[in-house]
Amino acid sequence: MITRREAIKTTALAAAATALAPSVLAQTNTAAPTAAAAPFTLPPLPYATDALEPHIDARTMEIHHGRHHKAYVDGLNKIYTGMFEFALPKGTIDQIAENLRMRIPEISRKGVSLEVQAALQNNAGGHYNHSLFWQTMKKGGGGEPKEELAKAIDASFGNFGNFREAFTKAALSVFGSGWVWLSVNEDVDNRIKLKLSSSTNQDSPIMIRMTDFGRGSGYPVLGLDVWEHAYYLKYQNKRADYITAWWNVVNWDFVTERFQKAKG
């Protein structure tokens, strides 16, 4: 969880990094690749590729997981092994993604080219976002969350219907490729609050681009991929139909667990 104190610190770091941007641009040095083993692997789907039928078809799942997600893992491995000298720690993608939020300004100051920074952000985000996405769905999902999460949704959005409507509207409003998120945040009174946001490309609330610190940040508990690769085979340009279908496979048990983890 990001605290307000961290957020303030981060904003200051981001401002410092932005100020240094011209000198970074002028440099062409990138980290030399090392012989370190590829640290990231594609996690298996937690269910069969046809488990979410008819809402999300097997072919889409095969390609989305086996090719798109895999490409982010491969891309991350390609650049990440060369980044260790910039003090990026080894760890799980969750640890890396959370860490990047703080480290992008730092690696920027250390002269990593903007191109490599972008590749790091896109591939780390892609790996993190998709790893979460698979887990937030299940066969026979849907319905509404219960107990603690239901209360938190009511507190932040009025009721579940309002939340669902706002989330759907945000998902329809993403222009181009991106995601919609439900994230845990702290408000000004340090009270836990659920927040709705959207992001472009593979940006994630946990690892938003350095120019956007303070906006759309948080610990994501639910995310919807609205890249066309997530639905085009079955739904073509009908994103609304994909979103309606997706609500039937949301794994609220998992989302609730993640919410509790975020609070703790």
| Closest CB to Mn ion among residues 98, 225 | 225
| Closest CB to Mn ion among residues 203, 225 | 225
**Distance of closest approach, residue 49 Cβ to Mn ion, in angstroms:** 15
Contact 218, 6 (CB under 8 A): no
| Closest CB to Mn ion among residues 84, 232 | 232
> 3-state DSSP: the chain helix, strand, coil percent, rounded to 5?
60, 10, 30
Contact positions with Mn ion (CB under 5 A) in 208-237: 225, 227
- Nearest residue relative to Mn ion (C-beta): 225
Please give the Cα distance from 62 to 52 (Å, whole number): 12
Count of residues engaged in binding Mn ion, rule: CB under 5 A? 2
**Distance of closest approach, residue 204 Cβ to Mn ion, in angstroms:** 12
- Distance of CA 63 to CAs 137, 178, 210, 232, 233, Å? 17, 18, 31, 11, 10
Nearest to 82 by CA among 105, 106, 116, 57: 116
**Distance of closest approach, residue 246 Cβ to Mn ion, in angstroms:** 13
Contact 223, 112 (CB under 8 A): no
Q: Where are the alpha helices (DSSP H) in the chain?
A: 4-26, 58-63, 70-80, 93-109, 114-135, 147-157, 160-173, 232-235, 239-246, 252-263
**Distance of closest approach, residue 147 Cβ to Mn ion, in angstroms:** 30
Contact track, Mn ion, 128-167, x by CB under 5 A: ----------------------------------------
**Distance of closest approach, residue 249 Cβ to Mn ion, in angstroms:** 15
| Closest CB to Mn ion among residues 167, 227 | 227
| Closest CB to Mn ion among residues 68, 193 | 68
**Distance of closest approach, residue 53 Cβ to Mn ion, in angstroms:** 18
**Distance of closest approach, residue 220 Cβ to Mn ion, in angstroms:** 14
Measured on CA atoms in the order 78, 79, 84, 88, is the torsion positive or negative? negative
| Closest CB to Mn ion among residues 193, 239 | 239
What's the burial of 35, exposed, middle or buried (CB within 10 Å: 0-12/13-18/19+)?
A: exposed
**Distance of closest approach, residue 217 Cβ to Mn ion, in angstroms:** 21
Task: Decide: is 98 part of the binding site for Mn ion (CB under 5 A).
Answer: no
Please give the Cα distance from 13 to 247 (Å, whole number): 38
- Which residues 6+ apart lie within 8 Å of 90 measured at CB? 39, 84
Contact track, Mn ion, 170-209, x by CB under 5 A: ----------------------------------------
Classify residue 250 by its DSSP letter: B
Q: What does the binding site for Mn ion look like in residue numbers (CB under 5 A)?
A: 225, 227
